[in-house]
Chain A
Amino acid sequence: DIVMTQSPDSLAVSLGERATINCKSSQSVLYSSNNKNCLAWYQQKPGQPPNLLIYWASTRESGVPDRFNGSGSGTDFTLTISSLQAEDVAVYYCQQYYGGPLTFGQGTKVEIK
Protein backbone atom coordinates (compact mmCIF):
# COMPACT_ATOMS: atom_id res chain seq x y z
CA ASP A 1 0.00 0.00 0.00
CA ILE A 2 1.10 3.58 -0.66
CA VAL A 3 1.54 5.39 2.65
CA MET A 4 0.77 9.12 2.68
CA THR A 5 2.43 11.21 5.39
CA GLN A 6 1.46 14.82 6.03
CA SER A 7 3.34 17.48 7.98
CA PRO A 8 2.71 19.19 10.24
CA ASP A 9 -0.19 17.55 12.10
CA SER A 10 -1.47 21.02 12.97
CA LEU A 11 -0.56 24.64 12.40
CA ALA A 12 -1.79 28.03 13.53
CA VAL A 13 -1.48 30.92 11.10
CA SER A 14 -2.47 34.58 11.40
CA LEU A 15 -5.25 35.88 9.20
CA GLY A 16 -3.85 36.97 5.84
CA GLU A 17 -0.65 34.96 6.26
CA ARG A 18 0.51 31.91 4.28
CA ALA A 19 -0.21 28.35 5.37
CA THR A 20 1.82 25.47 3.95
CA ILE A 21 1.01 21.77 4.28
CA ASN A 22 3.31 19.03 3.05
CA CYS A 23 2.45 15.53 1.88
CA LYS A 24 4.87 12.73 1.10
CA SER A 25 4.01 9.42 -0.56
CA SER A 26 5.95 6.21 0.06
CA GLN A 27 6.29 5.70 -3.69
CA SER A 28 5.86 7.83 -6.77
CA VAL A 29 2.27 8.60 -7.80
CA LEU A 30 3.26 9.93 -11.22
CA TYR A 31 1.01 8.25 -13.81
CA SER A 32 3.20 7.63 -16.85
CA SER A 33 0.37 7.48 -19.39
CA ASN A 34 -0.51 11.16 -18.93
CA ASN A 35 2.52 12.42 -16.97
CA LYS A 36 0.26 13.61 -14.17
CA ASN A 37 0.50 13.01 -10.45
CA CYS A 38 -2.44 11.11 -8.95
CA LEU A 39 -2.70 13.35 -5.89
CA ALA A 40 -5.71 15.22 -4.50
CA TRP A 41 -6.26 17.64 -1.62
CA TYR A 42 -9.49 17.88 0.41
CA GLN A 43 -10.78 20.28 3.03
CA GLN A 44 -13.07 19.05 5.78
CA LYS A 45 -14.86 21.43 8.12
CA PRO A 46 -16.59 20.22 11.31
CA GLY A 47 -19.90 18.51 10.64
CA GLN A 48 -19.41 18.56 6.87
CA PRO A 49 -18.24 16.00 4.31
CA PRO A 50 -14.83 16.53 2.68
CA ASN A 51 -14.61 18.98 -0.19
CA LEU A 52 -12.28 18.48 -3.17
CA LEU A 53 -9.85 21.38 -3.56
CA ILE A 54 -7.10 20.15 -5.91
CA TYR A 55 -6.64 17.15 -8.21
CA TRP A 56 -3.74 16.00 -10.42
CA ALA A 57 -1.61 17.64 -7.70
CA SER A 58 -2.09 21.18 -9.01
CA THR A 59 -5.46 21.55 -10.78
CA ARG A 60 -7.92 23.59 -8.77
CA GLU A 61 -11.48 22.26 -8.65
CA SER A 62 -14.15 24.54 -10.06
CA GLY A 63 -15.29 27.14 -7.52
CA VAL A 64 -12.24 26.79 -5.26
CA PRO A 65 -10.69 30.19 -4.40
CA ASP A 66 -7.38 30.90 -6.09
CA ARG A 67 -5.63 31.32 -2.73
CA PHE A 68 -5.47 27.50 -2.66
CA ASN A 69 -2.56 26.14 -4.69
CA GLY A 70 -1.13 22.66 -5.08
CA SER A 71 2.38 21.80 -6.23
CA GLY A 72 4.91 18.99 -6.31
CA SER A 73 5.63 15.82 -8.24
CA GLY A 74 6.66 12.22 -7.72
CA THR A 75 6.57 11.73 -3.96
CA ASP A 76 6.56 15.25 -2.50
CA PHE A 77 3.61 17.60 -2.61
CA THR A 78 2.50 20.87 -1.03
CA LEU A 79 -0.80 22.65 -0.46
CA THR A 80 -0.42 26.39 0.04
CA ILE A 81 -3.10 28.77 1.26
CA SER A 82 -1.63 32.09 0.20
CA SER A 83 -3.66 34.36 2.50
CA LEU A 84 -5.50 32.52 5.26
CA GLN A 85 -9.14 33.49 5.77
CA ALA A 86 -11.33 32.67 8.78
CA GLU A 87 -13.41 30.27 6.68
CA ASP A 88 -10.29 28.20 5.90
CA VAL A 89 -10.19 26.74 9.42
CA ALA A 90 -10.51 23.02 8.73
CA VAL A 91 -8.64 19.73 8.48
CA TYR A 92 -6.84 19.19 5.18
CA TYR A 93 -6.06 15.79 3.67
CA CYS A 94 -3.95 14.63 0.77
CA GLN A 95 -4.95 11.44 -1.05
CA GLN A 96 -3.35 9.30 -3.72
CA TYR A 97 -5.40 7.64 -6.42
CA TYR A 98 -2.49 6.07 -8.28
CA GLY A 99 -3.35 2.52 -7.38
CA GLY A 100 -3.84 -0.25 -4.87
CA PRO A 101 -5.96 0.71 -1.91
CA LEU A 102 -6.65 4.44 -2.19
CA THR A 103 -4.98 6.12 0.77
CA PHE A 104 -5.20 9.42 2.63
CA GLY A 105 -2.70 11.32 4.71
CA GLN A 106 -3.47 11.55 8.42
CA GLY A 107 -4.75 15.13 8.10
CA THR A 108 -3.47 18.59 9.04
CA LYS A 109 -5.57 20.83 11.27
CA VAL A 110 -5.35 24.51 10.34
CA GLU A 111 -6.31 27.11 12.94
CA ILE A 112 -6.12 30.88 13.33
CA LYS A 113 -3.28 32.23 15.46
Chain B
Amino acid sequence: EVQLLESGGGLVQPGGSLRLSCAASGFTFSRYAMSWVRRAPGKGLEWVSGISGSDNTYYAGSVKGRFTISRDNSKNTLYLQMNSLRGEDTAIYYCANHRRGSYNDAFDIWGQGTVVTVSS
Protein backbone atom coordinates (compact mmCIF):
# COMPACT_ATOMS: atom_id res chain seq x y z
CA GLU B 1 0.00 0.00 0.00
CA VAL B 2 1.31 3.45 -0.93
CA GLN B 3 1.63 5.55 2.21
CA LEU B 4 3.10 8.82 3.44
CA LEU B 5 3.45 9.44 7.17
CA GLU B 6 4.46 12.85 8.51
CA SER B 7 5.97 13.53 11.91
CA GLY B 8 7.86 16.24 13.77
CA GLY B 9 5.16 18.85 14.24
CA GLY B 10 4.55 20.61 17.53
CA LEU B 11 4.47 23.89 19.42
CA VAL B 12 7.44 26.21 18.89
CA GLN B 13 8.13 29.83 19.83
CA PRO B 14 8.51 32.52 17.19
CA GLY B 15 12.05 32.48 15.86
CA GLY B 16 12.43 28.80 16.67
CA SER B 17 13.09 25.77 14.49
CA LEU B 18 11.46 22.44 13.70
CA ARG B 19 12.27 19.58 11.36
CA LEU B 20 9.41 17.71 9.75
CA SER B 21 9.81 14.20 8.35
CA CYS B 22 7.71 12.23 5.88
CA ALA B 23 8.24 8.46 5.71
CA ALA B 24 7.24 6.93 2.39
CA SER B 25 6.33 3.32 1.65
CA GLY B 26 4.80 1.27 -1.13
CA PHE B 27 6.54 2.96 -4.07
CA THR B 28 10.04 3.64 -5.40
CA PHE B 29 10.62 6.84 -3.43
CA SER B 30 13.84 7.87 -5.17
CA ARG B 31 12.10 8.17 -8.55
CA TYR B 32 9.45 10.63 -7.42
CA ALA B 33 9.35 14.37 -6.93
CA MET B 34 7.88 15.26 -3.54
CA SER B 35 6.43 18.42 -2.03
CA TRP B 36 5.25 19.96 1.22
CA VAL B 37 1.87 21.71 1.21
CA ARG B 38 0.29 23.48 4.18
CA ARG B 39 -3.11 24.70 5.25
CA ALA B 40 -3.24 27.47 7.83
CA PRO B 41 -6.30 27.78 10.10
CA GLY B 42 -9.18 29.30 8.15
CA LYS B 43 -7.11 29.49 4.97
CA GLY B 44 -6.68 27.47 1.79
CA LEU B 45 -3.92 25.18 0.58
CA GLU B 46 -0.47 26.67 0.03
CA TRP B 47 2.39 24.85 -1.67
CA VAL B 48 5.54 25.34 0.43
CA SER B 49 8.43 23.51 -1.17
CA GLY B 50 9.29 20.71 -3.59
CA ILE B 51 12.20 18.50 -4.53
CA SER B 52 12.69 16.55 -7.75
CA GLY B 53 13.98 13.01 -8.03
CA SER B 54 17.34 14.53 -9.04
CA ASP B 55 17.40 16.79 -5.93
CA ASN B 56 16.47 20.08 -7.60
CA THR B 57 14.72 22.16 -4.94
CA TYR B 58 11.93 24.74 -5.16
CA TYR B 59 10.42 27.11 -2.59
CA ALA B 60 7.48 29.44 -2.16
CA GLY B 61 8.53 33.04 -1.72
CA SER B 62 7.05 33.11 1.78
CA VAL B 63 9.53 30.50 3.07
CA LYS B 64 12.57 30.97 0.84
CA GLY B 65 15.71 31.43 2.92
CA ARG B 66 14.03 30.05 6.07
CA PHE B 67 12.98 26.52 5.07
CA THR B 68 15.11 23.77 3.51
CA ILE B 69 13.72 20.68 1.83
CA SER B 70 15.80 17.52 1.51
CA ARG B 71 15.41 13.79 1.02
CA ASP B 72 17.22 10.62 2.08
CA ASN B 73 16.47 8.00 -0.53
CA SER B 74 18.18 5.29 1.53
CA LYS B 75 15.58 5.88 4.26
CA ASN B 76 12.65 6.69 1.93
CA THR B 77 12.18 9.91 3.87
CA LEU B 78 11.46 13.52 2.97
CA TYR B 79 12.39 16.36 5.31
CA LEU B 80 11.53 20.01 5.84
CA GLN B 81 13.87 22.01 8.06
CA MET B 82 12.01 25.11 9.23
CA ASN B 83 13.99 27.96 10.79
CA SER B 84 13.05 31.47 11.92
CA LEU B 85 9.47 30.38 12.36
CA ARG B 86 6.68 32.97 12.40
CA GLY B 87 3.08 32.95 13.54
CA GLU B 88 1.93 32.79 9.93
CA ASP B 89 3.72 29.44 9.56
CA THR B 90 1.13 27.88 11.89
CA ALA B 91 -0.60 25.21 9.78
CA ILE B 92 -1.14 21.57 9.06
CA TYR B 93 1.79 20.45 6.91
CA TYR B 94 1.20 17.69 4.38
CA CYS B 95 3.74 15.84 2.30
CA ALA B 96 2.59 14.83 -1.15
CA ASN B 97 3.84 12.70 -4.01
CA HIS B 98 3.87 14.05 -7.57
CA ARG B 99 2.17 11.54 -9.84
CA ARG B 100 4.43 9.94 -12.49
CA GLY B 101 7.39 11.29 -10.53
CA SER B 102 7.65 14.61 -12.35
CA TYR B 103 7.74 17.91 -10.44
CA ASN B 104 5.39 19.29 -13.09
CA ASP B 105 2.51 17.01 -12.25
CA ALA B 106 -0.39 16.79 -9.83
CA PHE B 107 -0.20 15.45 -6.27
CA ASP B 108 -1.80 12.02 -6.16
CA ILE B 109 -0.77 10.71 -2.74
CA TRP B 110 -1.00 12.76 0.46
CA GLY B 111 -0.06 12.10 4.06
CA GLN B 112 -2.44 12.78 6.94
CA GLY B 113 -0.48 15.87 7.95
CA THR B 114 1.39 17.11 11.01
CA VAL B 115 0.41 20.22 12.97
CA VAL B 116 2.85 23.07 13.49
CA THR B 117 1.91 25.82 15.94
CA VAL B 118 4.13 28.88 16.27
CA SER B 119 3.22 30.79 19.41
CA SER B 120 4.79 32.24 22.54
Contact = CB atoms under 8 A, between A and B. Distances in A.
Interface of A: 1, 31, 38, 40, 42, 44, 49-52, 55, 61, 91, 93, 95, 97-99, 101-107
A101 B50 CA distance: 9
Label chain B's interface by main secondary structure.
Answer: strand
A67 to B, nearest CB: 20
Contacts of A106: 44
Contacts of B59: 101
Interface residues of B, number: 26
A97 B61 contact: no
A37 B107 CA distance: 15
Contacts of B39: 44
A98 B108 CA distance: 16
A50 B45 contact: yes
Contacts of B47: 95, 101-104
B44 A31 contact: no
Nearest to B92: A49
Interface in B28-75: 35, 37, 39, 44-47, 50, 58-61
Contact of B106 (A40, A99, A101, A103): A40
A99 B104 contact: yes
Contacts of B111: 49
A1 B99 CA distance: 22
Given A1-B61, A49-B110, A104 B99 contact: no
